[in-house]
Structure 1
Amino acid sequence: MLATFACTPAETRGRLFAEDESAFRSPFQRDRDRIIHSSAFRRLKHKTQVFVEHEGDYYRTRLTHSIEVAQVARTIAGALGFNEYLTEAVALAHDLGHTPFGHTGEDALDALMKPYGGFDHNAQALKIVTSLERHYAEWDGLNLTWETLEGIAKHNGPVTRPGGDDPATGDLPFALTDYNARHDLELHTHAGGEAQVAALADDIAYNNHDLHDGLRAGLFTVDEIRALPIVGPAFAAVDTKYPGLEESRRRHEALRRVFGVMVEDVLVTSRRHLQALNPASAQAIRDAGAPVIRFSDHLWRDLQQIRAFLFARMYRAPAVLEMRQRVTKVIEELFPLFLADTTLLPPEWREDVARARDEIALARIVGDYIAGMTDRFALETHARLLG
C-alpha cells in the first residue's frame, strides 16, 4: 500500500514525448527497465568507485554499487510507503554519468570543461537518459517520466547555485540548464520522497562498502576501525555472540550490523519527520523546504567521523594517490587530443561533430565521449593513441 505522499503512476507528470502506456507495467517500472537495458548501465560494470577497474575483481564497481543502492532504497521505500519502482529507477540511474576512474576522473574532466560549461556527474546522468542513449526510433534518450528525471537531477537536493545569468537555475552545468529549458524539472525545489530515499541509500551503501573494500585492500585494519563509532559497537556485538569467529566471517557480520544501524536510523528518523509534516501529497514533500528522509543528527555526526577516517586512510592513501595522478594524466592528455583531431572519435560520433557550431559545442562532444569510457577502455585508448 502506498502512502498518501508517495508518487503514484496515475499522477505522473508524464514524459517529454507522449507514449501509449503499457498494459502490464507502470510508467515507473518501464523507467527502471529502460535504465537496466541501457548501454550506460552496462558500462558501469567496468567503472570503479575508488580503485581502478583492473586492480582487483572483488572491489566494488559502479554497477555493483548501483545494485546495492537499489536494494537498500527499495527496502526503505517499502517500509515508509513510498513507490518502490520509482525509488529503484532513481537508485539504478544515479551513477550513470560517472566518468572513468571515479571522482578522480570527474575532477579532471570538470577542470578541462570549465571553459565549456563544466562537468558534473548528476548532470551527465540526465544528459545520458535524455540525449546520449540513442536506440529508440522516435526520440533520443530513454524518454523517462518527469518524476524519474527529477530524481536523477536533484536527488541530493535543490541544484540551483547563486550566480549565473538565470536566477532560476544559477550557475549550473550546461547539461542541466540545457535540458531544463525544454522540460522544467523545478530545480529549485527538493525532489520527491522516492529520490530522497535513493540519496540516503547511496550514503548507506558507500559508507559500508568503502570500509569493506579498504579492509580488503589492506589500507587499514580491523583494530583501527574498531575505534570508529557504529563500527566498534558492531564488532563488539559480534565478538560477544560469536567468540573466536573466523576473521572474514567476523568482519562480514560486523559490517552487516553497521549497515543495519544506518538503515534503522533512517527509518526511525524519517518516520518522525513524516509524522510531523503529515504530507497529503508527493508535492508536499517537495515543498517542505528541507529533506524529509534523513539520518538522525547523532548518527550523521558518527558518519562524519567515519568519512573523515576513510578520506585520510583510503581516498588519500599513497597507493590511491599514485593511481589518481596516473589516471588524471590519462584524462588530461586524451581531452586535448580529441579536441584537436575529431577524426580520432568513432564514426558514430562524427554526425554530432559535423553539427557542432563552435569550439564549445565540440568540447562538449569530446567531454561526453570521454565521460562514457570505462576505466579499461580509457587506459587502452590512451596507450593506443599516445603510447
Structure 2
Amino acid sequence: MNWQQLFSTKRSGSEHRTAYSDAIRTSFLRDYDRLIFSSAFRRLQNKTQVFPLPGPVFVHNRLTHSLEVASVGRSLGKAVGDAIAQKYPNENDTFREFYKYELPSVIAAGCLAHDIGNPPFGHSGEDAIRTFFRELAGTEKQQFAESLSENQQRDFLFFEGNANAFRTLTHSFNEKTPGGFRLTYTTLASIIKYPADSLHGFNKQQLVTKKSGFFDSEIETYKHIAKDLGIPQLDAAKNIFARHPFVYLVEAADDICYRIIDFEDAHRLNIISIDTIKELFLAFFNNEEGYDARERVEQVFNEINDHNQRVQFLRAKLINLLLNRVTTVFMQNEEALLQGTLQKSLIDYLPQTEQQLIKSIDRFSIEHIYNHRSVVEIEIAGYNVIGGLLKEFFAAVINPRTAKSQKLLQLISQQFVITGEPGKLYNDIQSVVDFIAGMTDLYAVDVYRKITGIAFPQIR
C-alpha cells in the first residue's frame, strides 16, 4: 500500500461521477455531515453503551460515545496527517492537502460510524442474535442450513456489529439509488477493523480475522473498494484483506475512549470511588515532565472541589497523553502499516509500563463495571427481547403464508424487503435482522411487549 493511493473521493454507488465539492465542504466533510444527520446515527442516542438507559443519572449512550470517539479521532487524524505531510514534502499538492487538512475529517467520520451497525442492548445484542441462530432446531434449523451457504449461515451464527455497520452504510435496502449513504471509499475503508468474511473470520491467530468485517452480501462491495485503494488481498483463495492504515486510528480513538469514559460513568453511578480512579489514572503520569508531571497533575486535581470535575480533569489529561503516544506509535510502525503486517492495535504497542497500567484498568473494568448488576440485567433483557423478536419474525419468514406470519410481516418497515421466495431466504432473514438491529432499546422493548401480548397496543 502507499499513502498516495489510500485516499479517494470516489463514493459507493456513484463511482463514475466526478467528485463534487465547494468552498465550504470537501468530499470528506460531506461524509461527516451525512453521518451526523442520518436517522441511523440519531438512533444511537437510545442504544445502550454499557449502563442501562434511561436513568436518573445521565451516562453515555452509543451516540455520545461515538461523538467523543470522533473528537479524539479528529485529533489523531490531525497529528498523524501533519506528520505524514511533513515527512513527504515533495509529494504533490493533492497529497499534502489531504494529509494536512482532510485526514482529520476522515478519521472523525469513521469514528462516528464505527458503532452504527450495533443492535440494541450493547454487545449482548450481538450475542443474542448469534445465540438465537445457534439454537435453531427442527425444521427451522434444517431449512436454514439447506437454503444458505456456509458463509451466509455464519453471517448470523457469528453476527458482528462491525460487518453490519458496513452493510448499513453501503446497502440501499428498498431504495432505487445505489450505494447506501454514498460515503467515500476512504471513510468506508477506515471502519473495517476485521477485513474478512464470516467464513474466514473469527480466527484469532491474525488481527484481521479476529472477527468479520463484511457479510456475504457485501463482499463484492468491499473488494471493489479494496482494489481502488490498493488494499491487498492476503490470500487469493479467501476473502481476507490487509487492514487500511486509517483503521488503526479509528480503533485507537475507540480504545482510548471506552476505557476511560466507562470509569467516568461508573463513578457517576457510585459504582467506583474517586480514590480508585485517582490511583489508576495518575499512575500514567509517574514518569512525565513539565505540565504532565504527576506532581503538577495531582496538585491541580486536589485543588478541584467537585468530584465529577476531578474525574473530568483526569479524563482529559489521560486522553491527551494517550493520543500523543498513539501518534508516535503509528509513525514508528509506518512500514508495517503499509505492508499490512502490523498484527496488534496501536495501543498494544505502547511502552511496557503503560501497557501494564491499561491491563490494570481492563481487569478492574471487567470485575467491577462490566459485571455490575445493572449491566448484567440489561444484558439479560437484551437476550430475552431480541431473542423473542427473532423468534416471532424468523418464524414468519420461514412460514410466510400463515395468518399470524402475514400480520407480523406487516410490522416490518417497507425499507426491509421480505420477498417470501424460497430462493431468497438469506435476503429475507437479513431484512429481519436489519429491522431488529436498527431498533433502539426502547422501541425493541415496545415491539416485543406488544407482539407477545405483555402490553396491549393503543390505537393512534
- Band the TM-score falls in, shorter-chain normalisation: 0.7 to 0.9
**Distance (Å, rounded) in 2 between the aligned partners of 1:244 and 1:109:** 48
> Aligned letter for 1:369?
F
Residue of structure 2 equivalent to 1:80: 80
Deviation string 1:297-346 (CA, Å, 9 cap, x unpaired) is 42233212211111110111123212321232111111111122353233
Residue of structure 2 equivalent to 1:294: 346
Maintained 8 Å contact 2:301/2:313:
no
Residue of structure 1 equivalent to 2:376: 321
**Distance (Å, rounded) in 2 between the aligned partners of 1:263 and 1:315:** 25
> Aligned letter for 2:55?
E
Match of 1:306 among 361, 370, 380: 361
Residue of structure 2 equivalent to 1:384: 450
Residue of structure 2 equivalent to 1:101: 121
In our comparison, the structure showing a higher alpha carbon Rg is: 2
Deviation string 1:161-204 (CA, Å, 9 cap, x unpaired) is 7758xxxx989769523211344045633333322211100111
Deviation string 1:332-383 (CA, Å, 9 cap, x unpaired) is 1111111223532335157434456354443322111110000111111122
**Higher RCO structure (Cα 8 Å, ≥6 apart):** 1
Of all paired residues, the percent bearing the same amino acid is: 26
**Distance (Å, rounded) in 2 between the aligned partners of 1:150 and 1:100:** 24
Q: CA deviation at 1:103?
A: 0.5
**Distance (Å, rounded) in 2 between the aligned partners of 1:375 and 1:224:** 31
- Root-mean-square deviation (Å): 3.1
Maintained 8 Å contact 1:6/1:194:
no
Give the match's secondary structure for 1:96: coil
Q: CA deviation at 1:32?
A: 2.3
> Aligned letter for 1:67?
L
Residue of structure 2 equivalent to 1:141: 180
Q: In the TM superposition, what are the counterparts of 1:36-75 in structure 2 within 5 Å?
A: 36-56=36-56, 58-75=58-75
Q: CA deviation at 1:206?
A: 0.8
**Distance (Å, rounded) in 1 between the aligned partners of 2:3 and 2:56:** 43
> Aligned letter for 1:159?
A
Residues 1:23 and 1:331: Cα distance change in structure 2 (over 3 Å): closer
Give the match's secondary structure for 1:226: helix
Gaps of 5+ in 1: 278-283
Residue of structure 1 equivalent to 2:230: none
Match of 1:17 among 14, 18, 39: 14
Residues 1:84 and 1:350: Cα distance change in structure 2 (over 3 Å): closer
Residues 1:370 and 1:38: Cα distance change in structure 2 (over 3 Å): same
Residue of structure 1 equivalent to 2:242: 190
> Aligned letter for 2:385?
V
**Distance (Å, rounded) in 1 between the aligned partners of 2:322 and 2:213:** 35
**Distance (Å, rounded) in 1 between the aligned partners of 2:33 and 2:222:** 22
**Distance (Å, rounded) in 2 between the aligned partners of 1:172 and 1:243:** 43
Q: Does residue 123 of the first structure (1) align with residue 121 of the second (2)?
A: no
Number of residue equivalences:
368
Q: Does residue 370 of the first structure (1) align with residue 444 of the second (2)?
A: no
> Aligned letter for 2:112?
L
Deviation string 1:21-79 (CA, Å, 9 cap, x unpaired) is 21314332332222223221111111120122223462111111111111111111111
Taking structure 2 as the reference length, what is the TM-score of the superposition?
0.71
Q: CA deviation at 1:229?
A: 5.5
Residues 1:244 and 1:31: Cα distance change in structure 2 (over 3 Å): closer
Maintained 8 Å contact 2:160/2:212:
yes
Taking structure 1 as the reference length, what is the TM-score of the superposition?
0.83
Residues 1:325 and 1:204: Cα distance change in structure 2 (over 3 Å): same
Deviates more, 1:174-183 or 1:258-267: 174-183
> Aligned letter for 1:199?
E
Residue of structure 2 equivalent to 1:272: 332
Residue of structure 2 equivalent to 1:159: 196
Deviation string 1:72-93 (CA, Å, 9 cap, x unpaired) is 1111111111412221221111
> Aligned letter for 2:384?
K
> Aligned letter for 1:334?
L
Residue of structure 2 equivalent to 1:178: 217
**Distance (Å, rounded) in 1 between the aligned partners of 2:443 and 2:312:** 33
Q: Does residue 214 of the first structure (1) align with residue 266 of the second (2)?
A: yes
> Aligned letter for 2:12?
R
Maintained 8 Å contact 1:270/1:293:
no
Deviation string 1:126-184 (CA, Å, 9 cap, x unpaired) is 1111115666x522512223222222223xx54367758xxxx9897695232113440
Q: In the TM superposition, what are the counterparts of 1:196-207 in structure 2 within 5 Å?
A: 196-207=248-259
Maintained 8 Å contact 1:124/1:175:
yes
Residues 1:355 and 1:21: Cα distance change in structure 2 (over 3 Å): farther
Maintained 8 Å contact 2:200/2:240:
no
Q: Does residue 348 of the first structure (1) align with residue 435 of the second (2)?
A: no
Maintained 8 Å contact 1:134/1:140:
no
Give the match's secondary structure for 1:365: helix
Residues 1:161 and 1:374: Cα distance change in structure 2 (over 3 Å): closer
Maintained 8 Å contact 1:45/1:61:
yes
